[in-house]
Amino acid sequence: MGILLAPGPVYVPEEVMLSQVKEMITHRSGAFRDLYVDLCTRSAKYVDAEEAYVVTGSGTLGIEMCILNCVKPAEKMLVLSNGNFGDLLATTAEVYTNVEKKSIPPGKGWDLEKAKGHVDESDAAVFGMVYNETGYGVRNHAKEIYQYAKKKGMLTIMDSVSAWPSLPMDMKGYCVDFFAVGCQKAIGAPPGAAVIGLGKDAIERIEGMERIPSHYGNLKRHRKTYKEKGQTPNTPAVTVFWAMQRCYDQMDKEGGVSAWVEKHRVISEYVRGRVEGMGLELIPEKGFESYSLTAFKHPKAAEVKKRMAEKYGISIVGCKGDFKDNGLRIAHMGLFDGKNLEIGLDALERVIREVA
């Protein structure tokens, strides 16, 4: 078998994969209710949400649901972008409302100093940003920006698809109203579900919406079905939910969310050191490096990726946009295997010498 070091779907250990191999249950059973209530309750506790729901679909669906349950066609949403996924956030929002997108170059990170003027000058009712720009391995300084946007009276939506729980999250402390994360990244499960967190203002917004432009994605339906029955309104990916529960169990076993975040911080620092020790230049602006993946430059990126796969059976990926021809990414998130990561870095070092 090969070694998967891609940023989602990520490596999934055998015990998580096997947690899905059970006798199937109906989503209208007591057994499913116990599973779903556990996932929703723990998700809300982990991210300090008023409510949380697990929906069947990718992280992108989670983000779209946050948007369509929040924005109004006549309003405006301010989106700060610094890469492919920030652009995707804006593109998704454009389906439902007017969008004001402000961008900085790929590889650069957003902090309050860079964001403040855009927030001050905007008349948008809603603010959104990607916490962890996966395409370039950039960790935006989200907390201060969200606090400021909320202070200015905006509702806030956070794309945390590849961020939590490799990065800290406190929805109340960060002033995040709508939050979404994909299960196939830092949570460490197989793909197929997203977690949506809601704050008090989000719930008030949802219940006050005259029209929500979706049936499947209407969070009024999800809230109603959960509160009345402890179930999902539509058939969920039961096996993925089992896997997520197993990942949550492991996170708790390792010391909880804070320990999980620290694990990611430490490994990211180590990987960056190894990569820089090979003479490679990191893509993220200093001080904005992701905890869940490391992005770096190489003039022969395609050849490096090809040799890693063909010669060593190790999957790493290229970068997006401006760095698609000379950028590479190695993921270290979720239930990553330290030994496999070490093997991958050793192989990368050999390949770098080979293609020099």
pLDDT of residue 254: 96
Last residue of a domain, one of 252, 282, 305: 252
Euclidean distance between CA atoms 178 and 66, whole angstroms: 6
Strands 178-182 and 155-159, bridge-based pairing: parallel
Question: Mind listing the pLDDT tens digit for each residue in 123-156?
Answer: 999 999 999 999 999 999 999 999 999 999 999 9
For residue 254, which amino acid is it? E
Average pLDDT for 160-184: 97
Q: What is the mean pLDDT of the chain?
A: 97
Q: Which of 1-10, 13-22, 299-308 has the lowest mean pLDDT?
A: 1-10
Euclidean distance between CA atoms 91 and 85, whole angstroms: 9
Sign of CA dihedral 286, 168, 262, 7: negative
Q: For residue 49, is it within any domain?
A: yes
Q: Per the structure, how many domains does the chain have?
A: 2
- Looking at the structure, tell me whether residues 144 and 231 fall in a common domain: yes
Beta-bridged to residue 158, according to DSSP, are 129, 179
Euclidean distance between CA atoms 252 and 244, whole angstroms: 12
Last residue of a domain, one of 252, 276, 309: 252
Task: Classify residue 137 by burial, with Cβ atoms within 10 Å: 0-12, 13-18, 19+.
Answer: buried
- Looking at the structure, tell me whether residues 75 and 105 fall in a common domain: yes
- Give CA separation, 48 vs 40, 173, 219, in Å: 12, 8, 19
Q: Which residue is it, tokens 């999980």?
A: 260
- Looking at the structure, tell me whether residues 78 and 225 fall in a common domain: yes
Q: For residue 213, is it within any domain?
A: yes
Structural domain that includes position 338: 3-9+256-355
- Other Cβ atoms less than 10 A from the Cβ of 348: the count is 25
- Tokens in use for 67? 């948007």
Last residue of a domain, one of 221, 252, 283: 252
What are the residues whose beta carbons fall under 8 Å from the beta carbon of 197, sequence distance 6 or more? 43, 44, 47, 49, 51, 52, 171, 176, 178, 179, 180
- Looking at the structure, tell me whether residues 310 and 175 fall in a common domain: no
Degrees, nearest 5: CA angle 126-57-59: 45
- Looking at the structure, tell me whether residues 152 and 81 fall in a common domain: yes
Nearest to 16, CA basis, from 249, 176, 207, 196? 249
Q: Crossing angle of helices 219-229/200-208, nearest 10°? A: 110
pLDDT of residue 260: 97
What are the residues whose beta carbons fall under 8 Å from the beta carbon of 116, sequence distance 6 or more? 148
Question: Mind listing the pLDDT tens digit for each residue in 93-122?
Answer: 999 999 999 999 999 999 999 999 999 999
- Looking at the structure, tell me whether residues 246 and 270 fall in a common domain: no
- Looking at the structure, tell me whether residues 173 and 268 fall in a common domain: no
Q: Crossing angle of helices 301-312/338-355, nearest 10°? A: 120
- Looking at the structure, tell me whether residues 121 and 142 fall in a common domain: yes
What CATH code is carried by the domain that includes residue 301? Answer: 3.90.1150.10
Q: For residue 280, is it within any domain?
A: yes
pLDDT of residue 82: 96
- Tokens in use for 229? 């029955």
- Looking at the structure, tell me whether residues 219 and 319 fall in a common domain: no
Question: Mind listing the pLDDT tens digit for each residue in 245-261?
Answer: 999 999 999 999 999 99
pLDDT of residue 322: 87
Nearest to 150, CA basis, from 131, 130, 174? 174
- Looking at the structure, tell me whether residues 103 and 226 fall in a common domain: yes
Q: For residue 134, is it within any domain?
A: yes
Question: Mind listing the pLDDT tens digit for each residue in 292-347?
Answer: 999 999 999 999 999 999 999 999 999 988 899 999 999 999 999 999 999 999 99
- Looking at the structure, tell me whether residues 161 and 283 fall in a common domain: no
Euclidean distance between CA atoms 183 and 189, whole angstroms: 6
Nearest to 290, CA basis, from 4, 5, 7, 9? 7
Sign of CA dihedral 255, 258, 259, 264: positive
Question: Mind listing the pLDDT tens digit for each residue in 53-67?
Answer: 999 999 999 999 999
Average pLDDT for 225-237: 97
Percent of the chain past pLDDT 90, that is, above it, reads: 98
Q: For residue 14, is it within any domain?
A: no
- Tokens in use for 201? 């203002």
pLDDT of residue 1 exceeding 80: no
pLDDT of residue 21 exceeding 80: yes
Beta-bridged to residue 128, according to DSSP, are 79, 157
What CATH code is carried by the domain that includes residue 206? Answer: 3.40.640.10
Q: For residue 15, is it within any domain?
A: no
pLDDT of residue 304: 97
Contact 19, 138 (CB under 8 A): no
Euclidean distance between CA atoms 60 and 287, whole angstroms: 27
Q: For residue 16, is it within any domain?
A: no
Q: For residue 232, is it within any domain?
A: yes
Nearest to 10, CA basis, from 348, 346, 335, 340? 335
pLDDT of residue 316: 97
- Looking at the structure, tell me whether residues 238 and 312 fall in a common domain: no
Euclidean distance between CA atoms 192 and 162, whole angstroms: 14
pLDDT of residue 321: 83
